[in-house]
Amino acid sequence: MRTATVNRSTSETKIAVTVNLDGSGTYRVATGIGFLDHMLEQLSRHSLIDLDVVVEGDLHIDQHHTTEDSALAIGEAISKALGDRRGIVRYGHAYAPMDEALTRAAIDISGRPYTVWKLAFTQEKLGEWDTELVEHWFQSFAQTAGLTLHVENLYGTNNHHLAESAYKALARALRQAVSIDPRKADSVPSTKGTLGGE
C-alpha cells in the first residue's frame, strides 16, 4: 500500500494529512472551510485516494493560510506516497462535466511543478470561501506534489459547478496518473531514470 502521513505546524496552521493512493476514495476532511471540505471530499472520492485531512488554521484572519497550507500538505503526502514513482502511469487527463460546466485537467507527475490555470469565476465567494483561493490551492498542490498541471474550463456559468468540475477533473486525472502500469511496474517512466521522487 502506497501511504504517507504529513504533519505541518506553523504559527498560522496546524495540519495532519494521511493519504493512501491505493484506497477506495474514503475521506475524513475538516479544514474549517465548508466549501474547501466539499472539494477535498470530491478529490478523494473520484481519485480513489483515501484522504484524511485535519486543519486548525488562523481563520480569524482569513482563509489564505488554511487553503495554501492544506494544499501543500496534501501534495507533499501524495509525493511521499509515490516514493520513487516506479511503475506509475505518470500522465493523466480527464474531462469532468457538471451540468452546464465542462473542465479538463491534464497532469504529468514530472517532478517539475508548473501550473497553467484557465478558469475564471464571476463571484467573489463560494459559501464563505474566497474564489481567488481556488487557483492558489491548485498551484500550491502542484508545487509539493511535483506535478505539471493544466486546468482549463471550456465553458460554464455556475461558479459552484466551475469549481467542482475542476476538482473532479483533477481527481480523475490523478487516479489515472498514480495507478500502476502492469506492463512497466518495475521501472520509473522516464528516460532519465528518475522523476524526482524519494
Instruction: Evaluate whether 11 touches 56 at the Cβ level (below 8 Å).
Output: no
Look at residue 191 and tell me whether its pLDDT is greater than 50.
Answer: no
The CA distance from 28 to 50, in Å, is 9
Look at residue 192 and tell me whether its pLDDT is greater than 70.
Answer: no
**Choice among 4-13, 39-48, 116-125, 178-187 with the minimum mean pLDDT:** 178-187
Confidence of residue 173 (pLDDT cuts 50, 70, 90): very high
Could you report the per-residue pLDDT of 134-143, keeping only the tens digit for each? 999 999 999 9
Confidence of residue 43 (pLDDT cuts 50, 70, 90): very high
Could you report the per-residue pLDDT of 75-125, keeping only the tens digit for each? 999 999 999 998 899 999 999 999 999 999 999 999 999 999 999 999 999
Question: Which grid coordinates are listed for 117?
Answer: 490555470
Q: What percent of the chain has pLDDT over 70?
A: 93
Nearest Cα neighbor of 116 from 93, 133, 139 is 139
* CA separation, residue 192 to residues 52, 71, 110, 183 (Å): 33, 28, 11, 19
In this prediction, residue 184 carries a pLDDT of 74
Could you report the per-residue pLDDT of 2-11, keeping only the tens digit for each? 999 999 999 9
Could you report the per-residue pLDDT of 125-162, keeping only the tens digit for each? 999 999 999 999 999 999 999 999 999 999 999 999 99
Mean pLDDT over all residues of the chain?
94
